[in-house]
Amino acid sequence: MIFKTATFAALAVALMTLGGFGLMAVNNTGPENFSETMIDLPDAEMQDASSNTFRLRGDIEQDALVVINFSYTTCNSICPLGNQILQFVDVRRAEVTRPVHLLTITIDPASDTPEKMRSAADAFDASRNWHWLTASPAVISDILTAADANVTDIEFHDPIFLVGEISSGRYFRSLSMPSADELIAMLGHFDT
């Protein structure tokens, strides 16, 4: 299933590019696709794709930046596209002077076990700084509420990307499908 999803995402990117609508060009208009906001994410205890405990605040360096997306492993619509974009950002993290962590947080904690998250992470060749996270439904609900992420119907949820600092709570939010260029540019806003 994960291979099928990753293949679907790659095919969608290729088809969009051939049609002149490449993901890298869809939303290349810059920061106007993002709104600045303050978010106080809870110091939630989660599990990463290796079944290790991961603290949302405690396991990321104080000066690090994060890109957070909300996804689920059996999604066959926008989630693979969002993860493909994060894969591009993962490869380009060195373009940002501060440490960058990517967080893919499940919106289907009842189904997304660490093992499923591991398979998804492997399908997108995630680096050690791209954390695929799950937790109890209550913890996920607290995180989604804090992030003002409305995913009442997971099959039709909006893409939600957060770029920011967990330590300060300063984020830029996109409710569209930003390009990797846009996400890298938003990370750059914290370098100034």
| pTM strictly above 0.85 | no
Q: What number is the average pLDDT over the span 143-161?
A: 82
Q: Parse the chain into domains and list their residue ranges.
A: 2-188
Buried b (16+ CB within 10 A) or exposed e, 6-37: bebbeebbeebeeeeeebeebbeeeeebbeee
Q: Is the pLDDT of residue 12 over 80?
A: no
The whole-angstrom separation of Cα 120 and Cα 156 is 20
Q: What number is the average pLDDT over the span 179-189?
A: 93
CA-based radius of gyration for the chain: 15
Predicted pLDDT at 77:
84
Q: Is the pLDDT of residue 2 over 50?
A: no
Predicted pLDDT at 169:
93
Q: What number is the average pLDDT over the span 144-153?
A: 83
The whole-angstrom separation of Cα 68 and Cα 189 is 16
Predicted pLDDT at 175:
86
Predicted pLDDT at 16:
36
Predicted pLDDT at 151:
75
Contact 157, 77 (CB under 8 A): no
Query: Which among 166, 175, 174 is positioned nearest to 44, based on CA atoms?
Result: 166
The whole-angstrom separation of Cα 130 and Cα 24 is 20
Buried b (16+ CB within 10 A) or exposed e, 159-185: bbbbbbbbeeeebbbbeebbbbbbbbb
Task: Categorize the per-residue pLDDT at 31 as very low, low, confident or very high, splitting at 50, 70 and 90.
Answer: low
The whole-angstrom separation of Cα 5 and Cα 2 is 5
Higher local confidence (pLDDT), 150 or 69: 69
Tens-place pLDDT, residues 55-106: 988 898 888 999 999 999 998 888 999 999 999 999 999 999 999 999 999 9
Task: Categorize the per-residue pLDDT at 158 as very low, low, confident or very high, splitting at 50, 70 and 90.
Answer: confident
CATH among 1.20.1530.20, 3.30.2010.10, 3.40.50.2300, 3.40.30.10 for 2-188: 3.40.30.10
Tell me the pLDDT of the chain averaged across its residues. Answer: 83
